[in-house]
Chain A
Amino acid sequence: MSKTLFDKVWDAHVVHKIEGGPDVLFIDRHLIHEVTSPVAFLGLRNRGIKVLYPERTFATADHNTPTINQHLPVEDPLSANQLKALEQNTAAYGIRHWGLGHNKNGIVHVIGPENGITQPGATIVCGDSHTSTHGAFGAIAFGIGTSEVEMVLSTQCIMQPKAKKMRITINGSLGKGVLPKDVALFIISKLTTSGATGYFVEYAGSVFEQMSMEGRMTVCNLSIEMGARGGMIAPDQTTFDYIQGREFSPKGADWDNVMAYWKTLKTDDDAVFDKELSFDGSEIEPMITYGTNPGMGIGITHEIPDAKQVEGGVATYEKSLGYMGFHEGDQMIGKKIDYVFLGSCTNGRIEDFRAFASLVKGKRKAEDVIVWLVPGSHIVEQQIKEEGLLNILTEAGFTLRQPGCSACLAMNDDKIPAGKYAVSTSNRNFEGRQGPGSRTLLASPLVAAAAAITGKVTDPRTLIQ
């Protein structure tokens, strides 16, 4: 029978099917961090059980780590306690741990791919909704709750019903200044924040085929923001080239064996999806959000829509615009900005820093804007230095911070103050997401760079030579 990519990977991991219930799904790779794991380890201890396959779990500290002075003790006692708990738990159960200060430390969804842990055809979970990132490699990857983290630690399985299947095809070519982030924000604006709930999405078409792995990761990362369980892209030569030679990638004869399998990982021509959508890549502009969920996005040259033009309740819409201090019909271009954040598991990779640096090169940071540039990992940080991007950024008046989730969710000190506006390359513009009362405008690294230079929302295309 014809199968989709999702079917092939899912079906290969079903240990048991329960009639009228979920599948027991085997998990190849498990990523953990300090925030959603401690209660799972507590559960193991309470039950008196061990970790079944410690070598299949990888730990990093990222969510509430500081992004300056990482060599000093963590000041916040609660954060320090969580970091210590992760260190102790991983030591007790024999799990690999790249903690604060380790040269492989970084955001969980950045370090998985860059170390070759993320591979095609794998099932990958983490107690973090942006685990969907790893789908860029043709893996089934999704976020789980802490109860499920405990399941994976103890039995390497979770129990979930198989999702429905959706394919989103985008052909054509992207215009000047349009990045993968814009493609994702465009899709979410069309589907709304719940439009893909219940589905696993496959992205197909020339726009994704031509994308780098970093770009594909950005797109898959944001799958959760339209409600999807996850998103994936069929592996191709771009994928294989990225993986080959990385620390945890197969070597020698193992590589040849696995390649034979990986090359079968694509949707059969006559496979059927529960839902199919397609868009034209040339219609996509640089995007920006104006509201309090990622579905509230528009092309940067557009005006904020009227309540009656958008799906959902008027009261919810008005509450959202009220929180943002915006009005129906407002132009986004020209709105004053207080903060810019480049980073996160969405846009904290080398390509994002290249894009940002390309636009600010030879220009100056706007005086009254605070800019946080946070690499996704130490490996990204090192690459920024080696490629000469740090010099470009420094000459333009910027400084580079140390890796971590940072202002994406503001669990550490990187908080946007109440009422202030931030153009952010992260993934969520929910109320208070970047600090109590903060106002977030999600955008690409180029839109972030344009805001950092001009101090206001600016179409980056006007600044690109």
Chain B
Amino acid sequence: MAYDSFNILKSTAVPLTIENVDTDQIIPARFLKATERVGFGDNLFRDWRYNPDSTPKGDFVLNNPVYKGKILVGGKNFGSGSSREHAAWAIYDYGFRCVVSSFFADIFRNNCLNIGVLPVQVSAGFLEKIFAAIYHDPDTELEVNLPEQTISILSTGDKESFDINSYKKSNMLNGFDDIDYLLNIQSDIEEFAKKLPL
């Protein structure tokens, strides 16, 4: 088992309404110098979260104790830019298990799925409802049900279904990763390689 399995997650959520959040914001490049996967959560959203002298910026949502939980809700086009998996690691290490947005950048989405953070893409309208519900009551809980592929706002009863391919869904439910699968078909891969022109 390569990472925690994911089934049903019920949690309050942290709202980050800004759009086009790129992975340089999620984790700036100067924090990519580790050779192990530890401690990235400390620098999640580093330059939005801390002043240059390392004091917290009061107006950033992660510094507002009212908002907490295992779900991060982001504006449209979340995770654009650099392919650094460190962005997904930082989100995981901080304590998030699910990111919700109306649109995800491809590589970021893949990276999340590969480490056990569930990216949930909802409609723009549903995203607005989630933000509104959280701003109305920060203790609003969301329920992300992976087996049924639904996300609900428990206080309002609003519910929407989301897509995930059946292979990745099974991996997430069981905590398996792609290498487990690939190692099982290694002899097929080696046969395939013999026939390639390059």
> Which chain B residues lie closer than 8 Å to A43 at the CB level?
179
Contact with A along B21-32 (1 / 0, CB 8 A): 010110011101
> Which chain A residues lie closer than 8 Å to B61 at the CB level?
none
Residue B55 CB within 8 A of the other chain: no
Cβ of B35 and Cβ of A315 under 8 Å apart?
Answer: no
Cβ of A257 and Cβ of B197 under 8 Å apart?
Answer: yes
Cβ of B18 and Cβ of A293 under 8 Å apart?
Answer: no
Number of B interface residues in the complex (CB < 8 A)? 58
Among B7-15, B135-143, B149-157, B180-188, the stretch that binds chain A is B180-188
CA distance A455 to B103 in the complex (A): 39
The residue of chain A having its C-beta at the shortest distance from the C-beta of B19 within the complex is A316
Number of A interface residues in the complex (CB < 8 A)? 81
Contact with B along A199-232 (1 / 0, CB 8 A): 0000000000000000000000000100101000
The residue of chain A having its C-beta at the shortest distance from the C-beta of B104 within the complex is A197
Cβ of A39 and Cβ of B82 under 8 Å apart?
Answer: no
Cβ of A53 and Cβ of B193 under 8 Å apart?
Answer: yes
> Which chain A residues lie closer than 8 Å to B165 at the CB level?
20-22, 161
Cβ of A194 and Cβ of B76 under 8 Å apart?
Answer: yes
> Which chain A residues lie closer than 8 Å to B34 at the CB level?
38, 78
Q: Using a CB–CB distance below 8 Å, which chain A residues touch chain B? A: 13, 15-16, 18-22, 24, 26, 28-29, 35-36, 38-39, 42-43, 47, 49, 52-53, 63-64, 76, 78-79, 81-82, 85, 119, 121-122, 127-129, 131, 143-148, 150-151, 154-161, 163, 193-194, 197-198, 224, 227, 229, 257-258, 261, 293, 312-313, 315-316, 319, 409-411, 418, 428, 430-433, 436-437
Partner of B185, one of A13, A24, A143: A24
Output the least CB separation between A89 and chain B (Å).
9
The 4 closest A-B pairs by CB, nearest first: A21-B167, A145-B85, A78-B33, A143-B83
> Which chain B residues lie closer than 8 Å to A293 at the CB level?
20, 22, 80
Q: Using a CB–CB distance below 8 Å, which chain B residues touch chain A? A: 17-20, 22, 24-25, 28-30, 32-37, 47, 52, 75-77, 80-86, 88, 103-107, 110-111, 114-115, 165-168, 177-179, 181-183, 185-186, 188-190, 192-193, 196-198
> Which chain B residues lie closer than 8 Å to A197 at the CB level?
77, 103-106
CA distance A127 to B189 in the complex (A): 21
The residue of chain B having its C-beta at the shortest distance from the C-beta of A53 within the complex is B193
Cβ of A129 and Cβ of B82 under 8 Å apart?
Answer: yes
20 contacts between A and B (CB under 8 A): A18-B167, A20-B167, A21-B166, A22-B165, A22-B167, A22-B168, A39-B36, A39-B85, A143-B83, A144-B107, A147-B111, A147-B114, A156-B189, A158-B178, A159-B167, A194-B103, A194-B105, A227-B77, A409-B82, A428-B81
Cβ of B28 and Cβ of A436 under 8 Å apart?
Answer: yes
Output the least CB separation between B4 and chain A (Å).
15
